[in-house]
Structures are given as structure tokens and as C-alpha cells.
Amino acid sequence: MVKIAARDRLILALDVPSAAEADRLLDRLQGHISFVKVGLELYTAAGPEMVKRIVERGMRVFLDLKFLDIEETVRRATSRVAAMGVEFLTIHANRKALTAAVQGREGSSLKLLAVTVLTNFDGQDLREMGIQRTVQDLVTARALLASEVGCDGVVASGEEAAAIRQKVGPHFVVVTPGVRPAGKGVDDHSDDSDADHCIRRRLSCDRPTYSRCGRPVSHGGGHHRGDAGGLRCTRVKKVNSHLVSRQ
């Protein structure tokens, strides 16, 4: 198994509404971060051109679009993503959609991550959808499905990572969202995981685990807008210093 440097396990979520704001944030963090996530908001605003610019900076891209559609649409869309030079792409954990995505990325280095259960869902949400299973049972079952059809990993909460490893094995990529400095709120994720917690419980260097840090960095957290850029950069530096010191 290839060892992943601790610093490279941190993914910055570009949760900003425009290409201009994304570019400003990336300029400030150049040299401090190597892996970024582009989600629905930024992709809707700036499209493939934003992804191209990030790749041209020499950064790795996690495209979090959570594909779920008929097979041919997913296959063709995944093929287009692969051609952009993206490293990670998310697909909802439906057998037909996952299989189509595996076909669409054929011949590329694109890695496919199944979205098992959205991390803001709880047991009540599942029951309202007619699913009579616990969140953890459904997560591990869908992780196993993703592995069986040829996906590379999953997006799951930090509390579920150990169960996924036990079910699927140590080779599977796990990306855990919702990382934030200690004391910050949970936003809309049920799992509240601060940076030091992630280092201790998730970022063991012999397993392909990544953690995503988003709003505490991309938003000013109530500080004056003029101070936000420095605050963002400081937070990333602090998280990276934690990672390097424990590598």
C-alpha cells in the first residue's frame, strides 16, 4: 500500500459562491494546501473552467457532484469528468449508477467515491424514506456494494470509518467531511470532528483516509471581512502543523 503524506490527506472544501472568491482563497493558500473540493455551489457558478484553473495550479481536485441518474447519463458525465484531470468524483451508492461510473472512467486515473448516506441524515430520515436499518448498517452495506462494483472508496462520517474498514478492508479510500477547529459548530453535518480528533482517529498513515475541512476556512466565522483571508490561511496552517507533527 502506498503511504500517503499526512499533509496530503487534508482536502479544503471551496464552499464559496463564485470563481473570483475561489481564486482569492486559493491565492492565499498556495503552498499550504494541495487538495481541494469543488461542490455543487461553486461548480454551478463557475463550471468546468474553474476545475481547469485549479488543475493548472498543480492542485488535486475532488469533484463532489454526487451523480445519480440513468446509466448512460452517469457513464457519459463520468467520462467528461475523467477528461478534466479530476482525482476524486462522488456518486450516490446505487448499484446501477456506480457501475455506470466505473465504466465511464475506464482508462483514466479518476477515483470514484460512493456517497453511502449523507452525513446529516439520522435514523429518522432513513425511516421516512422507508429504510428500516440503522445508519451504520446502511453505510457499511453500501460501502461493500461500492467495493464490489469497482469503486475506490466512500464518503462517510468519521464515526463510521472504522466499521467500513472492518467490512471492506484497509485498502478502501475513506473521505470524512465536517472537519473543523475545536469549538466550532457542526454546521449541517451530524458528525462534529475537530482537526486534532481527526489526526488521532482517522489519519493513520498506513490507510488511505482523507479529511475534508470546509466552512471554518472558507467563511470568516463572524470576523470582519477584511480579516477573513488571514483567518482562513491561519486555520489551514494550524491544521497542517498538527498533521506534520504527527506524521
Which sequence positions are flagged as catalytic? 66
The sign of the torsion formed by the CA atoms of 81, 85, 86, 91 equals positive
158, 198 Cβ separation under 8 angstroms: yes
Q: Which long-range contacts (CB under 8 A, 24 or more apart) does 58-61 make?
A: 58/34, 59/26, 59/33, 59/34, 59/35, 60/34, 60/35, 60/36, 60/87, 61/35, 61/36, 61/37, 61/85, 61/86, 61/87, 61/88
Nearest residue to 98 (alpha-carbon basis) of 68, 131, 65: 68
> For residue 13, what are the β-bridge partners?
37
Phi, psi for residue 168 in degrees, rounded to 5:
-105, -35
Task: Name the packing angle between helices 40-56 and 19-29 (round to 10°).
Answer: 50
Give the integer Cα–Cα distance in Å for 32 and 62: 17
Nearest residue to 112 (alpha-carbon basis) of 123, 120, 100: 100
Query: In Å, what is the CA distance from 35 to each residue of 61, 81, 88, 147, 156?
Result: 6, 16, 10, 24, 18
